[in-house]
Structure 1
Amino acid sequence: MHIDLLDPAPFGRNDFWSAFTWLRANSPVHWHPEPGGDDGFWVLSKHRDIMSVYADSDTFSSAQGMRLGSDPAAVAAVTQRMLIVSDAPHHTRLKRALYQAFGPQQMPKMEALVETVVGELVAEAADQDELDFIDLAKQLPNRVVCAMMGIPRADWSWIGALTTDAFDSPDESVRSSAHSEIFLYFIELLGERRARPGDDLVSQIAHDTLVDEGDGTERPLSDEEIVFNCNGVLSGANETTRYSAAGAVHMFAQLPEQWDLLRGLGAAGIAPAVEEILRWTTPGVHALRTAVRDTEINGTPIAAGDRVTLWNVSANRDEDVFTDPHSFRVDRRPNRHVAFGHGRHLCLGARLARFELGALLIEMLDRFDGFELTGPALFNSSNFTWGIRSLPVRLLRSRAFAQAERAAL
C-alpha cells in the first residue's frame, strides 16, 4: 500500500484512516521517505509504541521540533523557552511554574467563566435554529482564553483567526507570519501588564509565577518565555475544543441514538462522553520527536538523529486497545486515548478543554433534542491539527425546554 502522510488531501477528504489501519497491521514502525531527498522519518501507529516514546523523553527529544514541516529557524528561536519544544530539566521547571496558573486552585474561576460563555453561546445559537456549528465551536475556547488573558474584547475575533492560521495553515509562510503577529501582540500586552497588572492570566504569569532553577533559587519568567507560552496556550485552548465540539455534533447528527443514550445517562454520562469525543476526534494528529541516541522501537533499530512521528489518530483507533474502535460510543469504558499526548508533554490545558466540552454537552442536552445536517461536513487539510472546518446543522430545539422557558416568563 502506498503511504504518503505528507499529502494533505486525504485529511481534507477524511479518508486517511485506512492508511493507519494498514500500518498498524503490517508496518507499525514504518520508514516514511520525503520527496526530493534522502531524508525521511519513522511513523509509529500502535498505541503501545506511541505511549512508550511519549514516556521516554530522555531518549526522544522535543527540542528539535514538534511537528513535520516546521521551519528549523523558527524552532531554534523558541526551543527550551516554549513548553512544546523543550526537554527536561528546563521543561519540568517551566511546566511546574506555568502549572501555578492552570492548576486545581484556578479551576473554580475558570469553570465559572466557561459556564457563562457556554450559556451565552448556546442561547445565541438556539435563536438561529440553523447555523454552521463551527461558528459556535470556535468561539467557545476563544472567548474563554481571551477573557482569561484579559485580551480586549475587540481583539477576540482577530486573535482566533490568527491562531488558526498559525497552527492550521498548510502554508509555512502563513504559519510563520501569524506566529510573528501573535508574538508581537503579546509583547505589547505583556508590557502593559508589567506596568499595570490586572486580575488576568498574563498578569499572574508576569508577576506571581516563579521558575525553580533547581539549585534552591527562583526567578521570574522571562518575557520570551511568557510570550511564547501564551501563544501555546492560545493554540491548545482553541484548536482542541473547537474541533472536538464540532466532531461531536457531527456524530450526534449521524447517530441520534447516541444523543438519546447520553440524555438517558444524565450527569454520570458526561465524563465518559467527553473522553469518547476526544478519542474520536483527536485534533492533535501527530507529534514529532528526535532520537538523541541509538535505540530501538518494537525491535526496529532507530539511529541517533532520526525523527520519529507519533500518530495519535492511529493510537486512538488501535484494535488492541479499543473494542470496536471505529464506532463512536458515548458510554465507552475504559478509554485510554492519547488525544492530549502522554508523559511530560501531556497538554497543560487538558483539564480546561475537558471542562469546556462537558459544559457544552450539559447546556446542549438541556436545549436540544438533536441535530440535523443541512450540508456536508468539510475538513481541513492538515496532518498536524485536524478537524471539521464547516458543519451546517439544524438545531432541534427541546420542546420541554421551550415549555419551561414560557412558564418562567
Structure 2
Amino acid sequence: MTTATGVPADAPPAAPRCPVAHAVTPPAAGGCPVGHGGGIDLTDPLLHSDGDAHAVWRAMRRHDPVSRRTAPSGHPYWSVTKYDDAQIVLRDHTLFTSERGTLLNILGTDDPAGGKQMAVTDPPRHARMREPLQRALSIKAVEAHREAIREVVVRLIEPMGDGVFDFAEAMADLPMAVTGTLMGLPAADWAQLTRLTTAAIAPDDPEFQLADSPEATLDTAHRELFAYFQDIVHARQKQTGDDLISFLMSIDLNGRRMSLGEIMSNCYSLLLGANVTTPHVASAAMATQAGTGVLEDWAAHPDLAVRGTEEALRWASPANHFMRYAVRDVELRGARIAAGDAVVVWLGSANRDEDAFADPDTFDIRRRPNRHVAFGVGSHFCVGHTVAKVSLRLMFTEMLSRFEDFRPAGPARRLRSNFVAGYSHLPITARRRREPGPVGY
C-alpha cells in the first residue's frame, strides 16, 4: 500500500528536508538553517551581499516566522519576517519602543541618541519633532525643487550612452546632491559625506572601511559626521538661511529650541536616511530587470511612473531591517516576547510576504494595491519619503525617455551590510534613443 504521494505506507519517515539550499553562514551540523533559531546568522553582512537572504526569509516565513535568535556577540533578539507582524511591531509604540535603538549594529547597547534624535524617539515627543519637518518636506515644498532635482538626474545619467557605465556609482551621488542642496551643504563636501554615510551603514565592506575594523570604521564615521555638522550648525547660528538645518534650529519643542546635540543628531539621521534609500532602489531595479523587457515595458507606458516607482521600492526594500524593544510582555504569532527583548523586523521579507502580495517575487510595474513597508510604517514612516519618491520618479522618467537597450556589462557588487540592501558597483551599457521617448512625470 502506498500513500497518495507514491511512498510506501510502511516506509520509515524521511528526514525533514531543509527549505534553504544554501547560505553563506553554514548551519549547525545536521541542522536546518532556519528551524528553531537555525544556524544561519541573519546579522552576517555576507549573507546579504554574497548569499540569498530572500531564500532564507521565504523559508522562515513558512516555517519559523517569529524566531528567537542569537547574534555572534551573544545578544539574543527576535526575528520577524511576516508583513502583518511587521505592522504590529513598527506601529505600536506602546508595545515596542524605538528609544533604545533601531539598528542591529548597536544590539545590546542603548542608543545614546534615544529621545533626542527623531528616529529613536517615541510619541508624543516624536510628533513634536516630526510635524514641522514633515511640513517642510511636503509634496508641495519638494515639488518646488523638482527642476533642480531633474537637472541633477540628467547630469548624473548623461554619460550612460558612452560605453560601460557604473550605474550604482552614479546613483550613489543622487541623494547627496538633492539632500545636500536642501540642507544647504557645500557641493565640495558631498563626495566625502557620501563616503562617510556609506561607511556608517556598511562598516563591514572593505571598500568603505575607514579604520582597521568594522567597529572602528563605524566610530570614525560617526565622529567625523558629527564634527562636520557641529561646524555647520555653528556657522548657521551666525547666519541662518532657507535650508533644512536652519529650519531644524527654529523648531519649537514646548517652548524651547533643539540643543546643539539634537540638531546634529537629526542632521545625521536625515542625511543617512536619504543616502540609504534612493540610490539602491534604482540600482536594484536595474540590476535585476535589465534585459528582461520590464524596463522597455515601463518606457512604453510612462503613465506608470508612480506605480513603477512604488514597485521598485517594494522590490529593493533598501532599508533591510528596523529594530525595536518590547515595552512589556507580548505574544506574537504564538511566540512569547518578554519585556526588554530586542525585536528585528526584516523589511525585505515583509515586502515579499506571499500573504500580503500576489506573486511577490515578480517585479510588476502595474501592481495594485502595493502597501509596501520600504519606508517603514506608523509614526516612524520615513520623513523624507516625498524627496525620495520625487527623485526616483524623475530618475526613472529621464532615464527611460533618453536611453534604451540596458544590458549588464560585468559583475555587480552588492554592498556588504546587514542594514542596507544595495549595490556599490553595477556596470551596464545602454543606447541613446534617437528621439526622446514619452515623459510621464
Q: TM-score, normalised by structure 1?
A: 0.91
1:171-320 matches, cutoff 5 A: 171-206=214-249, 208-211=250-253, 213=254, 218-255=255-292, 257-266=293-302, 268-320=303-355
SS of residue in 2 equivalent to 1:283: coil
Q: How many Å apart are 1:124 and its aligned residue? A: 4.0
- 2:90, 2:216 → 1: CA distance? 29
* 1:143 and 2:186 are equivalent in the alignment: no
SS of residue in 1 equivalent to 2:323: strand
Aligned to 2:69: 32
SS of residue in 2 equivalent to 1:400: coil
Aligned to 1:41: 77
- 1:246, 1:33 → 2: CA distance? 32
Question: For the structure 1 residues 148 and 35, does the alpha-carbon distance in structure 2 shift closer, same or farther, using more than 3 Å as the test?
Answer: closer
Aligned to 2:203: 169
Aligned to 1:92: 127
Q: How many Å apart are 1:321 and its aligned residue? A: 1.1
Aligned to 2:102: 66
Q: Partner amino acid for 2:374? A: A
Q: How many Å apart are 1:36 and its aligned residue? A: 6.2
Q: How many Å apart are 1:14 and its aligned residue? A: 4.3
- 2:97, 2:325 within 8 Å by CA — same for their partners in 1? yes
Aligned to 1:406: none
SS of residue in 2 equivalent to 1:151: coil
1:363-402 matches, cutoff 5 A: 363-401=398-436
Q: How many Å apart are 1:172 and its aligned residue? A: 2.4
How many equivalent pairs are there?
A: 391
Instruction: Render the CA deviation track for 1:30-68: whole Å, top value 9, x for unaligned.
Output: 11123464x311111000100111111111011111111
SS of residue in 2 equivalent to 1:370: strand
Where structure 1 has 5 or more consecutive residues not aligned to the other structure, the ranges are 403-409
1:55-134 matches, cutoff 5 A: 55-70=91-106, 75-126=110-161, 128-134=162-168
CA RMSD of aligned residues (A): 1.7
- 2:166, 2:427 within 8 Å by CA — same for their partners in 1? yes
SS of residue in 1 equivalent to 2:407: strand
Question: For the structure 1 residues 401 and 105, does the alpha-carbon distance in structure 2 shift closer, same or farther, using more than 3 Å as the test?
Answer: closer
Deviates more, 1:18-27 or 1:327-336: 327-336
- 1:112, 1:308 → 2: CA distance? 41
SS of residue in 2 equivalent to 1:43: strand
* 1:361 and 2:396 are equivalent in the alignment: yes
Aligned to 1:12: 49
Instruction: Render the CA deviation track for 1:142-198: whole Å, top value 9, x for unaligned.
Output: 111111111112111111111111122121221121111111111111111110122
Instruction: Render the CA deviation track for 1:351-370: whole Å, top value 9, x for unaligned.
Output: 11111110001101111113
SS of residue in 2 equivalent to 1:69: helix
Q: How many Å apart are 1:264 and its aligned residue? A: 2.2
- 1:36, 1:61 → 2: CA distance? 22
Q: Partner amino acid for 1:159? A: L
Aligned to 2:190: 156
Q: How many Å apart are 1:23 and its aligned residue? A: 0.6
SS of residue in 2 equivalent to 1:323: coil
- 1:32, 1:311 → 2: CA distance? 13
Instruction: Render the CA deviation track for 1:231-279: whole Å, top value 9, x for unaligned.
Output: 1111111121111111111133141x1112112222x200111011011
Question: For the structure 1 residues 92 and 296, does the alpha-carbon distance in structure 2 shift closer, same or farther, using more than 3 Å as the test?
Answer: same
- 2:133, 2:248 within 8 Å by CA — same for their partners in 1? yes
Deviates more, 1:165-174 or 1:236-245: 165-174
SS of residue in 2 equivalent to 1:287: strand
SS of residue in 1 equivalent to 2:61: helix
Larger helix proportion of the pair: 1
- 1:292, 1:241 → 2: CA distance? 32
Instruction: Render the CA deviation track for 1:85-118: whole Å, top value 9, x for unaligned.
Output: 1112221211123223222442233323212211
Aligned to 2:209: none
Aligned to 2:207: none
- 1:391, 1:240 → 2: CA distance? 16
Q: How many Å apart are 1:380 and its aligned residue? A: 1.5
What is the identity percentage for the equivalent residue pairs of Structure 1 and Structure 2?
35
Question: For the structure 1 residues 49 and 71, does the alpha-carbon distance in structure 2 shift closer, same or farther, using more than 3 Å as the test?
Answer: closer
Runs of 4+, deviation exceeding 4 Å: none
Q: Partner amino acid for 2:363? A: F
Question: For the structure 1 residues 137 and 348, does the alpha-carbon distance in structure 2 shift closer, same or farther, using more than 3 Å as the test?
Answer: same
Q: Partner amino acid for 2:251? A: T
SS of residue in 2 equivalent to 1:401: coil
